[in-house]
Amino acid sequence: MIVRDLIASAHLHRGEAETLLATVLGVDRAWLFAHGDELVAKAALDRFNELTHARRAGEPLAYLLGYCDFWTVRLQVNQLPCVVMHALWNGVTFLNLVLLGS
């Protein structure tokens, strides 16, 4: 399958699909645009499918990648910050989060 078709068939937001595929291929997103007709190797295709399946199941993108970009800073991510971010995103108040952790 070629790069362009793989991104379109991921059933994810285009930016997320591009980020996952760029990570799997070890390139940046600009490369994907310039090489949209390139064939993707079987091993990379399998890994991309694993990641997109996990993302569609609700796994945070930052946890799948192992990092999160914030402005010009790349932050390393482990499971705990993802749990906290997920809880805050889903309406858990800071006080409840503190009480949960104590």
State pLDDT tens for residues 17-73.
Answer: 999 999 999 999 999 999 999 999 999 999 999 999 999 999 989 889 988 887 787
Could you tell me which of 61, 52, 44, 62 has the C-alpha nearest to residue 3?
44
How far apart are the C-alpha atoms of 2 and 35, rounded to whole Å?
Answer: 9
My answer on whether 52 and 89 are in the same domain is: no
- 91 SS3 class: coil
Q: Determine the pLDDT at residue 100.
A: 56
Per the structure, the count of domains in the chain is: 2
Report the predicted TM-score, pTM, of the whole model to 2 decimal places. Answer: 0.73
My answer on whether 54 and 71 are in the same domain is: no
- The parent domain of residue 89 ranges over 67-102
| Residue 101: pLDDT over 60 | no
My answer on whether 10 and 44 are in the same domain is: yes
My answer on whether 41 and 72 are in the same domain is: no
My answer on whether 51 and 80 are in the same domain is: no
